[in-house]
Structure 1
Amino acid sequence: MLLLLFGVGLYLQPIAAWAGLALLLFLRLTKVHSLLLIYDLTDRAALEHVRTLATKRTHMLSPDEYGNVSEEAWNRHLNTFIKKTLVPEFQRRKIEHLLAKDLKRNVARLRTRINRIIDRYQPVEQIFEYDGMTGREFELYCREVLQEAGWRAALTPGSRDQGADIIAEKNGRRVVIQCKFYNGAVGNKAVQEAYAAAAFQDAPYAVVVTNSVYTKFAHQLAHKNGVLLMHHTDLARLDLIVTSGAGSR
């Protein structure tokens, strides 16, 4: 249709037809440039905050006590990130109107881009063999992960640990860790042990780490008492997590 109109206009008013085509191309190229700018600004912000975003996604997409994963909380977090971090920059560049034309669809596209950047950042998880592993071997594994991440981590004697399996220190932060190698869900007892051990060791951070999941009541008790519940795949990022205030009694 546009070509037909251009042809008719070129026959009747050549100058006007060429001027209209130039204007149309200008508007189209301007829109494309603005969209590319939106994507570029999104990528830059995601890369700048990728460590925090990766840690948040790991926690928000962790299985619940029934092994189910819900993306709702993570999508809400990304929506907030877009609203508070990206939109002000879009407004400064006067390109936010392109996002508002189909807000739901465009925000979903930005969430997809951010997730792809996190996927590229996330380190390949270390192969973890469960078969035949004992509880003490799991503690040794956790200590090794912490040491590779720069922590001074030591196993406790066992009989006199008051619930602590590992005591880790880094950058002046002292963390007491209770390791639970389970087939089933980890319950309240582990949270209570970690809390008591942190108090006994005079440590401000109490952590439970497991290869499994936690019960609903364990999550509730941990939240109330400032105990951090972790999966072993999060352990390499413990410093980032405690820096954000998580796990502080």
Structure 2
Amino acid sequence: MPGQPSLVARLFWIAVAGGGLSLWYGRAGIAASGAGLGLVLLRHLGRPGRFRARVRKVARRHARTLALRRRQESFVDAYGNRILDGWLRERDYFVARTLVPDLTARGFADLCEARPDTIRAIVEAVTDAVDLPEEDAAPEDGIPYERFCAGRLERGGWRTHATPASGDQGADIVAEQGATRLVVQCKRYGRPVGNAAVQEATAAARYWSGDMAAVVSNAGFTPAARKLAAATGVLLLHHDDLDELRPIRAVRSVQA
């Protein structure tokens, strides 16, 4: 652990100090030295347990969010395979950005490096333990899926209207809440959505004078789509997110 003496160094200096004490205090000094050595060893042997407990505590603090993200970032492809790539990226992001800094600050940097599989296993176990409500069944086809998404927005307080089947310039739903206009493109896919959808949503927001632009999908998004969305201000959402979506004024690049 950076900045802390190693176990061997601590035992060495306790033994040295104990030797000095024994010269002055005899058996009492030897006993004190032995007790010190025992305490250091016990604390060291207990580190893995404290490490696991800390991982579990931090993961439980974010358990519901983790469970929702796993649901949102997993999907079944056209061949019936359960695709977890998006969830695995999300889990590793949580580990790298939330867990590892916390554990490092508490002196567990060495165990973070030595036991990454332990961390992942605990995160998965904590996520498994969350009992989420049943997910609304999303329609399989495009237009019913757009209506489904519009309904979720309306539950969140948005006024929605569908765009024409042709000439919509990439917008499937235009929604308003207060003075904010949201332009949405819906993608019911069997694979992650790529960055073309982000480009279309950006163009649609300009055409419809939108303050916010979003791409909504059941199947997650590719890394390229995430990168472009971060640069353009387009929101990448799962349909579960729509109930709680709130207005954000002037997304930076949509109005550019």
For the superposition of Structure 1 and Structure 2, which TM-score range results when normalised by the shorter chain?
0.5 to 0.7
Partner of 2:122: 113
Q: Which residue of 44, 53, 56 maps to 1:43?
A: 56
Structure 2 distance, partners of 1:172, 1:50, is 35
Q: How many residues align?
A: 220
8 Å contact 1:228–1:247 — kept in the other structure?
no
Task: Classify the secondary structure of the residue corresponding to 1:164.
Answer: coil
8 Å contact 1:139–1:155 — kept in the other structure?
no
Structure 1 distance, partners of 2:72, 2:191, is 19
Change over 3 Å in CA distance of 1:180–1:129 after alignment to 2: closer
Structure 2 distance, partners of 1:110, 1:202, is 46
Change over 3 Å in CA distance of 1:24–1:170 after alignment to 2: farther
1:139 shift after superposition: 1.3
- Structure 1 vs Structure 2 CA RMSD: 4.8
CA offsets 1:10-57 (integer angstroms, 9 cap, x no match): xxxxxxxx9999889866764566554444433333333446555666
1:177 shift after superposition: 1.0
Change over 3 Å in CA distance of 1:112–1:170 after alignment to 2: farther
1:234 shift after superposition: 5.1
8 Å contact 2:154–2:160 — kept in the other structure?
no
Partner of 1:178: 185
1:78 shift after superposition: 0.9
Partner of 1:156: 162
1:152 shift after superposition: 1.7
8 Å contact 2:218–2:239 — kept in the other structure?
yes
Does residue 83 (structure 1) correspond to residue 100 (structure 2)? The answer is yes
8 Å contact 1:179–1:208 — kept in the other structure?
yes
Change over 3 Å in CA distance of 1:223–1:30 after alignment to 2: closer
1:144 shift after superposition: 2.6
Instruction: For structure 1, list consecutive stretches of 5 or more residues without a partner in the other structure.
Output: 1-17, 91-95
- Identity across the alignment (%): 30
Structure 2 distance, partners of 1:44, 1:112, is 14
8 Å contact 2:163–2:173 — kept in the other structure?
no
Structure 1 distance, partners of 2:192, 2:116, is 36
Normalising by structure 1, report the TM-score: 0.58
Instruction: For structure 2, list consecutive stretches of 5 or more residues without a partner in the other structure.
Output: 1-30, 78-82
8 Å contact 1:63–1:69 — kept in the other structure?
no
1:138 shift after superposition: 0.9
Change over 3 Å in CA distance of 1:248–1:143 after alignment to 2: farther
Normalising by structure 2, report the TM-score: 0.57
Task: Classify the secondary structure of the residue corresponding to 1:41.
Answer: helix
8 Å contact 1:207–1:247 — kept in the other structure?
no
